Structure 1
Amino acid sequence: MLHDALSSAEVTVTRADDGAMRLPSARDDEVLLWKRVPRGVSSDERKEADEWLDARGIADLEVRDSLMSRILRHPDLVNRAAEPHGFANCYVHHPGDLVIEWCCGDSTEALCANLLAQGFAEGLPPEKAVEVFSQQSISFGHGTVVLRRHSSCLYGGHAAEVTDYIKKRYES
């Protein structure tokens, strides 16, 4: 069970095969979240949480929160789209977006279709649902979730080594 440090929200995490969860080990200078003081929030975390709550410039916080919640429930679709390297690069520009980008693997149209088939944009106003910028870039919710596929491999001749390295880190 994951508990939000700032509210009563919580998320239960389970494995699809009902197996036991294996928690990672701390690396140098890291403190595992579950070993910190319960409900403890660092000053950086507090600042980031406040920015997400304030979120100036975000036209519709409900759309943002809905899409973020839905994408967290479908990591399998994101991982499948970026399967050749085993991962997609995910990052934010500000408290209002999530960019998912990858190079080799499914097209943006294929990932978009898979998300839509799972009800990803259900209930959104039509003008906020899906916007296609190009073959490589599709946006949901006025830029809340951006799918971006690079037209060529980002790792070139080193793709296999990079993929192996990242997959080994996932296993630890």
Structure 2
Amino acid sequence: MTMVDAAHQWIRWLQLVLLCGGGVVAFIVFTYKAPHFVATLTDILRPPPSRPAVDASAVRWQVIQRDHDRIKDEYGRLCIDPFHCAELAILDDLTVPEAAALIHALAEANDAAEKTDYPTYERAVLHLAQAWRHAQARAVNAEPRPPSSQAPSTPYGAQPSWRRPYPPIPRERRTCR
């Protein structure tokens, strides 16, 4: 046997070992990955699921409910926020037309929410949104005023007592007399 024959024999043996070893490795990998491959293939070939048609009235109803809840939350936050006392004083004064309209619109929207009559509820919430915008504009642009039926308890320009962080010190009380 010559060196060339020995090299050929060694190369063929190496090919056989690699082929058998590669076959075993390929069999193991194929056995392990075959379910994943089949699942991916079926996902690709499966037609997309048909979505049910979106009911426009249900979406509209949810939007109206969200608007109603948003306005109630904003008004509630305004009522408990100590830094917005001036705005709340205007919105609590029912002699202000915008404040009275807001309270009536809130009551109307709350009553309509309890019923299942969609058009009435939608109109009530739209009216509430409009009243809320007008009331906010009035509260931002106007200063609180004393009721017209009574004389003001403090002179104009004096700091209201509800804005004072503490009661007046005794020296201030003496000078105010």
Identify whether the pair has TM-score above 0.5, normalized to the shorter chain: no
Task: Give the TM-score normalised by structure 1.
Answer: 0.22
Name whichever structure is richer in helix by fraction: 2
Name whichever structure is richer in strand by fraction: 1
Task: Give the TM-score normalised by structure 2.
Answer: 0.22
Mark the structure with the bigger radius of gyration.
2
